Structures are given as C-alpha cells and as structure tokens.
Structure 1
Amino acid sequence: MKLLEYQGKALLARYGIATPIGALWPEVPDGPREFMVKAQIPSGKRGKAGAVRHAAVGEVEGIVEAMSTQQFGGLAVEKIYVEEYLDIVKELYLAVAVDREMGCHTIIFSSEGGSNIEEVADERILRIPIEPWLGFQPFHGTRLASFLGDAAAGQGLFRTAEALYSLALDQDAELVEINPLALVDGGLVAADAKAVLDDNAHFRHADWAGYARSRERSPLEESIAATGAVGVEVDPQGDVVAITSGAGLMMATLDLLVSAGQRVRAVIDLGGTVLSGSDGLEGVLAATALARPRVTFLNAFLQTAHCDIFARGLAEAHGKCPSGGSIIVRLKGRNAELGRECLAPLGFELHEDLGQAIEAVSKQRG
C-alpha cells in the first residue's frame, strides 16, 4: 500500500522526524508567507512533471485550481497539500528498504539527494544492511555521519536514521524514503516522504484503516485489470505494448525490449485470460487499443495449454476488436505450428524464436 506524501509525513512526525508545517487544501498553514503546493499522487518525479509548485500567499488558490484539473503520469490529482517553503542549504537522501536478497532492512543514504538521485554515482551512495537480531546501533549512526562529512548535521542524521528504521519495523514498511531530507538552518527536515506498507501485514495495524487508499493504477492499468489480466504502464511516451502468457515472461520480455532500445508503453500478463478464449482476449485487445501502440508484441510460450486453442481465441478476438499498428506474435509450445497456421491469414508477423521476434519489433519501429 503506497501512502500519499501527506500521509507519509504524518507517519514520520509520529516518530519524531521533523516535517514542514502543512495542511490539505482548502486549509493553508498559518504563518508562512511562501508555500509549496503539491499534488498528492502515488508517483515520483512530481517536481519535474510540474506537480510541485512554489507559491506566494496570493498565488496558492490559482495554482491549486490549475493543478486540480491536470493529470501527472496518467494519474488524476487526488488531493493537494500546501506546506511552508523551506530555505534549503543542502538536499540529502535517506531511506530504509527491505532487501530481500539479504533478508534484512537496509539503510540507504546519499549526501546528493533531490530529483536527480537516480543519476548519483554509486560510490556516493552508502548502503548499510541492518542485522535483524542486532537492530540499529550507534556505530551505524556514526558511519552515516562520517559519510556525510558534516559533524553538526551528523548528529541529526544519526537520530533521523534511527527513527526511520524504527518506523520501518513497527509499520511493516517495505520502503520509507525521505527525498530530499533537507538541511536547513535549524537542522534536518523531511521535505518529502514516501512510504510503501506491506499489505499482508494489514491485520496487525488497526490504525491503517484511517489511510485513504490512493488510486495507484493509471487509467490504462485500470482498463487492463478490468479484463482479468495484469498490466503495468512503463513509459507513457512509449509506443510498444507487450502482451505475454505469464508474469515471469512479462518481466523477461520487458528487459529484452528495453535492451533492444525500445520504449515500452505497457506490459501485460494475460494470467488466466490466456485460457479464457476470445472473450477475455477481446477485452485485453480493446484495452491495449487505448494506448494506440505502433507495435503490439504478443509473446506466448505455452507448455501446458495448447497454442492452437490460444491462437483461435486470439483470431476471434482480433476479428471483433482489430488492433491498430503492427502486430508481431511469438508463439512457442504445444501445437505452436498449428497455432501459427491459424494466425497466418490475419497478416500478423509470426515467430517461434524470441530473439528474432524482438528484432522484428525493432525493425517495425524504424
């Protein structure tokens, strides 16, 4: 469960982490003369998208009205948060995340936080795995402070990291992130907040009932979900949609397409829809058509289901809901040759080899 920024900041404040004075519109905090107006959507990079705006007192209402009608990354604005403007000396990055490979939480810190954190060189990022039986210890804080190289701010960083780790444990958080953790004249302040809570732990947290769930899916993802399939919008500017016969194959297909230089709008795992005949597939094709892809790539590798049955369902679905753009199909598995014979009259470009199919997608885009 992803919390919106204002919810994440309320959680940080419960653990003694300083946050700016703020309020949900139509309330405006008393005292400040300058504000940051922030669209509350479950998405990152809001600043670059125009979803975070600086405003003087008299400008807040106009910015709120304009922002309320916009979408950012395909997401409608749910709420708008107005908070005091901070005079930031330096932007840091601090997070606690579950590291599944190591089986523990890891503290992640960089002295170069802000909107370009993804571009920070790896040697400028400190990662400290925390042994579950040991927990956060003073030497962890000392290491953070030393990496920062600022003795005065180091003590505040020590306390903030310790509190953030406690929050992650208590709240069953998969990720809690402060970016930026702002160094201001009075110390460290969480200028932003991101929190992802483990839905499986909901039964342990009666207080979670107060969290208004954000609409985490884009309109395209919603339309795909309505068919029974699972879709993830990757790049709103992409022009390739990949439809696959399994979740693992979906991730592998995405990796191969991106490695080949493709911009992928969305990837779709058919799941049980792969066996539902033309009705289920028709819904998926209709949802895919909303993205107006130049290339629709169907990658089906069926080891238990029959490829020819799947192909007949796909042919019927396409007859009812023709897709725009080029369609490339990679079909492999039981009765794959019969399946390709079924699809051949439709004019699809057909392949059995995945590498050749990926290459065909690249050529179509050229």
Structure 2
Amino acid sequence: MNLLEYEAKALLSRYGIAKPIGALWPEIPDGVCEFFVKAQVPVGKRGKAGGVRYATVGDVEQIVEATVAQQFGGFAVEKIYVEERLEIAKELYLAVATEREMGCHTIIFSSEGGMDIEEVAEDRVLRVSIEPWLGFQPFHGVRLASFLGDAAAGQSLLRTAQALYSLAVDQDAVLVEINPLAVVEGGLVAAGAKVVLDDNARFRHSDWAGYALRGERSPLEESIAATGAVGVEVDPLGDVVAITSGAGLMMATLDLLISTDQKVRAIVDLGGTVLSGSDGLKGVLTAIASARPRVTFLNAFLQTAHCDDFARGLAEAHANCPLEGRIVVRLKGRNGEVGRQSLIHLGFELHEDLRPAIEAVSKHLG
C-alpha cells in the first residue's frame, strides 16, 4: 500500500523525524513566502514529470490549478500538498527496505540524494543489513556517519536512521524512503518521503484506517489486466512498450532492453491471449495505445500456437486499433516465415531472431 507523500511525512513526524512545514490545498503554510506545490499520487518520479513545482504566494493558485489538471504515471492527482521551500546545503538519501531473501531489513544510504538517485555510482551507496534479533545498534549508526564523512551531521543521521528503522518495523513497512534527506541549518529534514506498507499486515494496524486502500496496479496495468494479459508499468517516462508471449520471455526481454539503456514504459505478457485471436490482441493494443509509446516491440516465440494464426490476429487487431510510432515484431516458431510474410504489408519491422530485434528498437529510440 503506497502512502501519499503528505501521509508518509505525517508518519515520519510521529517518529521524531523533522519535515518541512506543509498543508493540503486550499490551505497553505502560515508565515511562508516560497513553496513547492506537490501533486499527491501513489507513484514516484513526479519531479521530472512536472509534479513538483516552485511557487510564491502570488502564483501558487495558478500552479495548483495547472498541476491538478495533469496525470502522473497514469494516476489523476488526488490532492495537492503545499510545502515550504527549504534552504538546502546538501541532499542525502536514506531508506529502510525489506530484504525478503535475507529475512531482514536493510538500511540504504547515499551522500548523493535527489531526483537522480538511480544514477548514483554503486560505490557511493552504503547498504547495512540489520539482524532482526539484534535491531538497530549504535555501531550501525557509526557506519553511516563514517560513510557520510561529516561529523557535524553524523549524530543527526544516526538518530534519523534509528527512527526510520523503528518506523519500518513497527508499521510493517516494505519500504521507507527519504529522498532527499536535506541538510539544512540546524540538522536534517525529510524533504521528500515515500512509504510502502505491507497490506497483509492491515489486520493488526487499526491506525491504518485513514489510509485509502489504493490498488497495487496503475490504470494502465488495470486496463491490460482486463484483457486477460498481465502488464507491468516500469517507467512512466519510458518510450517503449514490449509485448511478449510468455512470462519467461517477458523477463528476458525487459533485461535486454534495460541492458541497452532503453526506458521501458511497460511490459506485457500476453498469456492466454496468444491463443485468443484478434479479440484478445485488439484489447491489448487498445490498452497500450493510451501510453502512446514511440516504439512498440512485440516479441513472440510460439511453440504451441502457430505463427501464421497469431500474425493474422495481430493484423486484424492492428486494423481496428492502429498504434502510433514504430512497431518492431520478432516472430519465431511454427510457421514463422509464413507469419512474418503476412505482416510485411503493414510496415512492421520484422525479425526472426531476438538480438537484431532489440537492436532495431534501440535504433528507433536513438
């Protein structure tokens, strides 16, 4: 269950972690002249998409109206949070995540926080696993402070990490993230926050009653699921949607696209819709058309179904719901050559082997 940012920050505050002064629109923080207007949606990467915008008292209403009219990651804006602008000396990153394979929580810290945290070099990120029977200990905090290399902020970092760990354990959180953890005059402040709670633990948290039970799937994922296929939205800012003919192929395709530095908007496993002819494929194409990908990559390796039957269904579906952008098709299996030949007139870029198809996707995305 993804909390909205203002909910996450209220929870952090309960554990003694400082946060900026903020209010839900139409309220604005008292005594503040400069703000950040923040769209409240249960997805990340709002900043790059225009969901976090600077405002002053004079233009805050205009910026709120413009923000409310947008969607982020397929989600309409539920609420607007208006928050004071901080004078930030440095941005850090701090999170506590559940490591299911290891059976423990891990503290993740970097001295280079902010919107581009995913691009920070691995040697600039510290991971400290906490044994459940031991809990957070002072020596864990010492490791974090030493990695930061700032004695003045080290003690504040230790206290913040300890509080964040306590929150994660007490609240059955899958992820608690502060990004950025702002270094300001007087200490550390949670300038950005994300909290994901384990909904399976709801029965033991009466204090969760005020949290909306938001679906785990985005609107795009819901529309794909309605066709009988399985879709995962990977990056709301991605340029390519990949459609595959099986779960294993789905993961392999995603890995290959990411290895070539492509931003994947969504990836789809057709599942049983492979055998459902044009009706099932039409539904899938209709669902992904709303994402308006620059490239649609259809990767089908068929062993039970016949490629020519599949190609016929794809052609009929495309006639009913033509997709924008370039379409790259890798079609292999029984009657593969016949199937590919039947699609030539549609202008698709056709391949039998996977590697040239991936290279074609990369070429079109430049």
Identify the residue that residue 206 of structure 1 maps to in structure 2: 206
Deviation, 1:195, is: 0.9
1:213-228 to structure 2, matched below 5 A, reads 213=213, 220-228=220-228
1:160 aligned partner, one-letter code: T
Identify the residue that residue 5 of structure 1 maps to in structure 2: 5
Alpha-carbon distance in structure 2 between the residues aligned to 1:258 and 1:67: 30
Mark the CA change 1:343 to 1:202 in structure 2 (over 3 Å): closer, same or farther.
farther
Deviation, 1:179, is: 1.1
1:328-343 to structure 2, matched below 5 A, reads 328-332=328-332, 336-338=333-335, 340-342=337-339
Asked if 1:102 is matched to 2:102, the reply is yes
Alpha-carbon distance in structure 2 between the residues aligned to 1:266 and 1:159: 39
1:228 aligned partner, one-letter code: G
Deviates more, 1:216-225 or 1:125-134: 216-225
Deviation, 1:215, is: 7.2
Asked whether the equivalents of residues 114 and 180 of structure 1 are also in contact (C-alpha less than 8 Å), the reply is: yes
Identify the residue that residue 54 of structure 1 maps to in structure 2: 54
3-state SS, counterpart of residue 80 of structure 2: strand
Alpha-carbon distance in structure 1 between the residues aligned to 2:263 and 2:109: 31
Deviation, 1:80, is: 0.6
Deviation, 1:360, is: 4.4
Asked whether the equivalents of residues 3 and 213 of structure 1 are also in contact (C-alpha less than 8 Å), the reply is: no
Deviation, 1:189, is: 1.7
Asked whether the equivalents of residues 72 and 236 of structure 2 are also in contact (C-alpha less than 8 Å), the reply is: no
TM-score after normalising by structure 2:
0.85
Identify the residue that residue 171 of structure 1 maps to in structure 2: 171
Which residue, 340, 343, 363 being the options, matches 1:346? 343
Identity %: 78
Deviation, 1:356, is: 3.5
Mark the CA change 1:327 to 1:189 in structure 2 (over 3 Å): closer, same or farther.
closer
2:209 aligned partner, one-letter code: A
1:106 aligned partner, one-letter code: T
Identify the residue that residue 126 of structure 1 maps to in structure 2: 126
Asked whether the equivalents of residues 8 and 194 of structure 1 are also in contact (C-alpha less than 8 Å), the reply is: yes
Deviation, 1:96, is: 0.5
Alpha-carbon distance in structure 2 between the residues aligned to 1:185 and 1:166: 25
CA RMSD of aligned residues (A): 3.0
Asked whether the equivalents of residues 41 and 214 of structure 1 are also in contact (C-alpha less than 8 Å), the reply is: no
1:226-265 to structure 2, matched below 5 A, reads 226-234=226-234, 238-260=238-260, 262-265=262-265
Gaps spanning 5+ residues in structure 1: where? Answer: none
Deviates more, 1:217-226 or 1:173-182: 217-226
User: Cα deviation per residue 1:108-140 (whole Å; 9 max; x = unaligned)?
Assistant: 112222223233333332211111221111111
1:129-208 to structure 2, matched below 5 A, reads 129-208=129-208
Asked whether the equivalents of residues 308 and 342 of structure 2 are also in contact (C-alpha less than 8 Å), the reply is: no
Mark the CA change 1:106 to 1:236 in structure 2 (over 3 Å): closer, same or farther.
closer
User: Cα deviation per residue 1:47-73 (whole Å; 9 max; x = unaligned)?
Assistant: 343322333334322322222223345
Alpha-carbon distance in structure 1 between the residues aligned to 2:37 and 2:355: 47
Deviation, 1:229, is: 2.2
Mark the CA change 1:121 to 1:305 in structure 2 (over 3 Å): closer, same or farther.
same
TM-score after normalising by structure 1:
0.85
Alpha-carbon distance in structure 1 between the residues aligned to 2:362 and 2:152: 54
Gaps spanning 5+ residues in structure 2: where? Answer: none
